[in-house]
């Protein structure tokens, strides 16, 4: 899958996209689950998926886990993350596939706050 999730950095005032990234996917599995929830899917068992209460988590050092902000000026932004943007993975509910966070970028570091699940 070419884009399992999209990462868009938007100007806080105009909502114009100033930077973007995406995550490709080759396997979905339950790498972490809430307490009391049993893992159901594992790529090594050739059964892909994400169970309720489970997550497919990745460390930051894995390729494509960032947005290149080299040319982005310091200021206020919105980070929009959309999972399964093309609806290629069957789900029981597509309304919780996006989240937005307010971002303050100083030129040397970024701070996220007010993260919320959104419908788009």
Cα 62 to Cα 64: distance, rounded to the nearest angstrom:
7
CA 102/CA 38 separation, integer angstroms: 34
Encode pLDDT of 26-41 as tens digits. Answer: 788 899 999 999 999 9
pLDDT tens, residue by residue, 58-95? 777 777 778 899 999 999 999 999 988 888 888 888 88
CB 115 within 8 A of CB 101: yes
| Average pLDDT for the chain | 89
Q: Please check whether residue 46 is in contact with residue 62, taking contact to mean a CB–CB distance below 8 angstroms.
A: no
State how far Cα 112 lies from the chain centre: 14
pTM of the full structure: 0.81
Residue 113 is given by DSSP the state E
Residues 38, 47 contacting (CB under 8 angstroms): no
Residue 16, pLDDT score: 97
Distance CA 19, CA 103 (A): 13
Main-chain dihedrals φ then ψ at residue 55, nearest 5 degrees: -140, 145
């Amino acid at each position: 899958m070419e884009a399992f999730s999209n990462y868009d950095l938007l100007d806080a005032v105009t909502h114009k996209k100033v930077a973007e990234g995406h995550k490709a996917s080759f396997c979905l599995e339950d790498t972490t689950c809430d307490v009391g929830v049993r893992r159901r899917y594992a790529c090594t068992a050739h059964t892909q998926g994400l169970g309720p209460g489970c997550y497919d988590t990745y460390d930051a050092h894995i390729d494509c886990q960032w947005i290149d902000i080299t040319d982005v000026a310091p200021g206020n932004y919105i980070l929009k993350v959309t999972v399964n943007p093309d609806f290629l993975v069957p789900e029981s509910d597509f309304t919780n596939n996006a989240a937005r966070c307010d971002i303050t970028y100083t030129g040397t570091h970024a701070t996220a706050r007010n993260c919320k699940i959104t419908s788009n």
